[in-house]
A and B are shown apart, each in its own frame.
Chain A
Amino acid sequence: MITAVELGLIYAIVALGVYLTFRILNFPDLTVDGSFTSGAATAAILIVNEVNPFLATAAAFVVGAVAGLITGLLHTKGNINGLLAGILTMIGLYSINLRIMGGANVPLLGEDTVISALRGVAGTGWNSVLVLVAVALVFKLLLDWFLHTDSGLALQATGDNEQMIRSFAVSTDRMKIIGLMLSNGLVGLAGAVVAQFQGFADIGMGIGLILVGLASVIVGQAIFGTRVVIQATMAVVLGAVIYRLAIQFALNAGLNPNDMKLMSALLVIAALLLPQWKGFRRIAQWRKGRSALDAAAEATLTSEANVPGKKVG
């Protein structure tokens, strides 16, 4: 239980990154599958080579941001479809990650890590959970703050109405690149912490990560709402913890760990399909009295697959 919550709080940073691209920029970024492992690999190899673990974790942020930069350049300057740009970077990173690690995994047994530092300060009980809560909140608050600065508002508008924000002299290309860099930086950093948490970096640890991030964002926002940014980011953090607890619960109930990815995929599909079901929408509106706008935001998720002209209200 405590382990699940701890892991959930670390994955909350991934979820915040995915929220930034997926919700704010309206950009389904698959780079994260690769940049997560890149962050883990970078931090692991630095730690094995006696670099300060906090410095190594910061380096993972930078490496993740570079991955985001590549996707951003492919998409904006190369005019490559966003999904494909992310996939290209992700696939390319697989080889790079193997190069960084010099093999398929790097064990961190007995090394000084940020997690061993945490255990030294707060042990393994609820105290350490409290520390991780504080860490997750710091990232959440930093993101809240950034999104309300002049740059952050321009970033939000880029995902909301590109034509409009361009007519106010903002380079939407630049905003997308900044968003992708920040997002993948956060994901890389989270990858570094996860590697230190589990005691190794592994080439396969990022596979399917986009679904973990999406599930956290969608589940959290479905439960806690998205009315304003500070509420939406809080929902994302809580969503990551809930997702981790759900997995823990499923495993305890005897689910085969090999089926986990399928379960994640089914969970995301359910979260995307349910809001389209009329009965569910009526319940949700009745229960929360949500604004039409929130429902519209919900609809944008599925809009590409939507029947043209179908109103979601």
Chain B
Amino acid sequence: MLRISDVSKTFFPGTVNERRALVEVNLGLAAGDFVTVIGSNGAGKSTVLNTVAGRIGQDEGKVELDGRDVSKLKEHQRAAQVGRVFQDPMAGTSPHLTIEENLSLADKRGRPRGLALGVTKAKRERFAEALKVLELGLEDRLKTKVGLLSGGQRQALSLLMATFSQPKILLLDEHTAALDPQRAELVTRLTKKVVEEQQLTTLMVTHNMAQALEVGNRLIMMHEGRIILEVPEGEKSKLAPEDLLAEFAKIKGAVIDDKTMLQ
């Protein structure tokens, strides 16, 4: 469904701030795969997601979606097939529009937007039905402006919107990191549920190792722009957080070793 081939990306090339964010990354997701991505800060996790979404153009390599090369497509063109939930709960919704208007925008993803009314009676019923899944009572507040909702409510709505028109791939960028533990738990539960129901191919970045092990069927660990560990389907369920920490420790050791060598 998704194939990233030899993708490299360097920020600020040729300056003192030069940073190799991605180094010849290869990753393939079969239909229905749910891959969690972990790694320390600056490992390139978010850059991978942004490269798939087209927000950042890759320097080298190819991104294919459903067998089609999308490397040259712009962000909004790829978005027809890519659903996204951002870390910032404010980022995924339009605050001055109502809940139903936001859902109407999500509903039209990848289809031409003309001069038909965005919200009709039939649509409103469909939206209310979909909102019930969130169990937040939002179905009774269709005409509330989204800016008045709490962060957790907005993030749950963002998730619903991102998956509303069944994207080919769902990208989750630490989408529970900015929420309190209770809300994070809720959004994680909703994520599992919706991905399972719609059989969505999903790539999820997270800082939380327990979460990385709890959801998804595969796991990758990144460090300094490279994928340094791939846990395939079947083996992931056997992993414990301690195993991942041990892997992290190995990297850190390697870094120290390099430094010692240089001295």
Contacts and interface: CB of A to CB of B under 8 A. Distances in A.
A173 to B, nearest CB: 9
B90 to A, nearest CB: 8
Interface in B87-117: 90-97, 101, 104-106, 108-110, 113-117
A152 B79 CA distance: 19
Contacts of B114: 149-151
B115 A151 contact: yes
Main SS class of interface, A: helix
B77 interface: yes
A157 B96 CA distance: 8
A49 interface: no
B141 interface: no
Contact of B117 (A149, A161, A172, A296): A149
A293 B162 CA distance: 24
B145 to A, nearest CB: 6
B92 A169 contact: no
A151 B113 contact: yes
Interface in A115-129: none
Contacts of A148: 117-119
A153 B104 contact: yes
A168 interface: yes
A168 B147 contact: no
A170 interface: yes
A148 B76 CA distance: 21
B64 interface: no
Interface residues of A, number: 27
- SS class, residues of chain B in contact with chain A: loop
A149 B91 contact: no
B84 A160 contact: no
Contacts of B113: 149-151, 154, 170
Contact of A292 (B74, B105, B148): B148
B65 interface: no
Given A160-B95, A161-B93, A149 B110 contact: no
Contact of A149 (B90, B96, B115, B145): B115
Contacts of B6: none
Contact of A160 (B86, B97, B110, B118): B97
A166 B76 contact: yes
A277 B92 CA distance: 32
Nearest to A291: B148
Contacts of B104: 150, 153
Nearest to A171: B76
A221 interface: no
B97 A156 contact: yes
Chain A CB within 10 Å — which of B76, B83, B110 has the most? B76
A171 B75 CA distance: 9
A149 B118 contact: yes
Contact of B95 (A146, A170, A293): A293
16 contacts: A148-B117, A148-B119, A150-B108, A151-B113, A152-B118, A154-B108, A156-B96, A156-B101, A160-B95, A161-B90, A161-B91, A164-B93, A165-B105, A170-B76, A170-B105, A292-B148
Which 3 A-B pairs have CB atoms at the shortest separation, nearest pair first? A150-B113, A169-B79, A153-B118
